[in-house]
Amino acid sequence: MAKKLLPLLLALVMLFSLTGVMAFADDAAPSERSADIVILYTSDVHCGINQGFGYAGLAEVYKHLEEQGNAVILVDDGDNIQGEPVGTMTKGEALVDLMGKVGYSVAIPGNHEFDYGMDQFLDLAKNASFTYISCNFNREGELIFDPYVIRELDGVKVAFVGVTTPQTLISSTPRYFQNEEGEYIYGFFQDETGEGVYNAVQNAVDSARAEGAEYVVVLAHLGNEEECRPWTYADVISHVSGIDVLLDGHSHDTDQIVMKDKDGKDVLRSACGTKLAHIGYVRITTDGKISTGLYNWNNDESAPALLGIQNDASAYVEEATGALQEKLKEVVATSQVLLTIYDPVAVTDSGSPIRMVRRAETNLGDLCADAYLDQSGADVAFVNGGGIRVNINAGDITLNDILKVHPFGNAMCVIEVTGQQILDALEWGAHAIPGENGGFLQVAGLSYEIHSYIESPCQSDENSLFTGIEGERRVQNVLIGGEPIDPEATYTLASHNYMLLDHGDGYTMFDGAPLLQDSVKLDNQVLIDYITGTLGGVIGPEYEDLTGQGRIVIVQEKP
C-alpha cells in the first residue's frame, strides 16, 4: 500500500512545498523544444544521506520529474562528503561513490571537500563517475579542474561554471594548501579586491558562451556571510555579466533572490540549505522562462523513513551505512597505556569510578588537547572536559573507540587572542573547582596552577555566561611554551566552534577575536588524524601517567 501511495505523496510534497523566483531570459531561444529543462541541485549535504529527503527521496523526485516529460539533470554545490561518521570513516569515499550511483552529473568542491587532505580529495575527484569543475581552484595559477562543462538537455546547451570561496583556505586545514616549506601552492585566485575571482568567473562564462552555451548556470560555494566578502554571491553577480542563474551554498541559507549583474541584467540566485531538508531546482521552460525554487521537507522524520521509500538509492544508502558499521570495528591504532577520564584510584561509596576530566588533568585530556595543537599548528589548545566522554583502553583501538571520545560533532577552529583572554578563559574553566564543570579546560602548549583555596572571582549573568572577573584570581603561574604568559601579547588558540564561537560552556571572552581557521574538521577526526597520523598509530608511554603530564597543578592550601 505504501509503495502505491508513494508517487502521490511525493507529488503532493512537490506541489505544496514550492518556493521560488522567476525571470525571463533576455535572449531566450525560439520555442522548438519538446520539454522543460529541470536542474535539480543539492548543497551542503554534509553526509546527510538519510536525512530530510535523503538520497532515496531525491531519487524519487528526479524520477517523478522525468516521468512528467522533463529533461532532468542533478548537480551539487559542495560540502557533500564531510559532516557525519560515514564521511569521516571513509574519508569521503563512500559519499563520492553514492553521488555517482544516485546520478549526479556535475559537482564543485566546497571548503569541506578538502578536510581529508589534498591528495585524498584529488584522488576522489579523479575516480568520481561525475565531473568536478572549478574556475578558481588552482595550483600555482594552473586550474585543477575544467572551469566549466556543457551538458546538452533536450537539444539545448547548458553550461555549468564552478566557483569556490577563497575562505576555504581558513575553513579547511591551511597546511593542506601548502608545500613542505609552509608556502601556499594551492589557492582560489584570492585577493583583497575580489577581482581575481570575478575575472575567473567572467572568463569561464565568456568561454562557455563562445562554445555555444545558450544558458549559463554558476554552481557556487560562496554564501552570504559578511566574513566571506569580497567573495559572496552578491559580490560575484554584481561584478560579472552573462550569468543566468547562480546556485549557491556555504551559508546554509534558503534565500531565493533576483539581483542585477554587472550589465544590469536580472540574475536568479538560489540556495537550498543543508542536510537535504530542501532540494533546489531551476526550471527552464520551452519558451525560455527561467525559475528557481525549493522542494521542502519539513518533517522531523526523513522522507525515506516516513514514506517507506525503497529504491536503488535507498539500497545504496543501506549498503554504505552497513559498511560503516563494519568500518567502525576496524582496528586503526594501538595504545600501550590506559587513557582515562576517571580518578586512577578513588571510587564512590558504591564502587563507581569518579570522573576527573571535568576538574583535573588526565592523560586522555592531554591527548585530546595535543591533537588540537598538532592538527591546528596553534600556540595553545583547549578542550573542554565535558566534550571528552569515555576512556580509551590499552590495546587495540577501533574507529568506534575514538568516535565515542568526541561524539558531539564539534569542529576545530583557530582564533587570535590576547594573553588576557586566555587568562580569563582559564579562570572561567576553573571556577567550579573542586567541583565538576563541563567547561573545565584540558590544555596543550600551556601549563597553569589553580589555587583552589581562593574563591572563584568569576562573574556570570542569568544565563550562566561569563561577564568578568572581580577579585583575586585563582589561576596563577601560567606558562606558554615554557615562558610566562604576556597579557598584552597575541597568541593563536585552537579549540572548537562550540566554545570559541558559540559561547559553549559560557565562554564569552573570545567575542570579536579574529577567526583564523573556521570549522576545519570534526573533533573526532582531529583525534583520529593525530593518533593514526602524527603518532603513527601508537599511543606510547609519554601518556602513561593517568593524571597527565603536569600541565595543570591544583594548589589546595595557601603557600
Which spans in 103-180 are helix H?
118-127, 168-171
CA gap 341, 354 in Å, rounded: 9
Contacts of 171 (CB under 8 A, 6+ apart): 111, 112, 517, 518, 519, 520
Q: What is the pLDDT of residue 227?
A: 72
Confidence at residue 17, expressed as pLDDT on a 0 to 100 scale: 55
pLDDT block averages, 10 residues each, the chain of length 559: 52 54 51 87 94 95 96 97 84 94 97 90 97 98 98 96 91 81 91 95 98 98 87 97 97 92 97 94 95 92 91 91 84 95 81 85 97 96 91 92 83 96 96 88 97 94 85 97 96 94 88 91 91 96 95 93
Q: Enter the pTM of the model.
A: 0.76
Among candidates 432, 472, 449, which has minimal Cα distance to 556? 449
pLDDT value, residue 10? 58
**CB neighbours (10 Å) of residue 178?**
15
150, 158 contact by CB (below 8 A): yes
Q: What is the pLDDT of residue 329?
A: 87
519: cell is 570549522
pLDDT, one tens digit per residue, over 357-379 is: 989 999 999 999 999 999 999 99
Query: Each residue of 55-109: pLDDT tens digit?
Result: 999 999 999 999 999 999 999 999 999 878 788 888 899 999 999 999 999 999 9
Please compute, for residue 405, the number of CA atoms within 13 A of its CA located in the half-sphere on the CB side. 29
Ramachandran category for residue 366: left, alpha or beta (phi over 0 → left; psi -120 to 50 → alpha): alpha
DSSP letter for each residue of 221-253: E--S-GGGTTSSHHHHHHH--S-SEEEE-SS--
| pLDDT score at 21 | 63
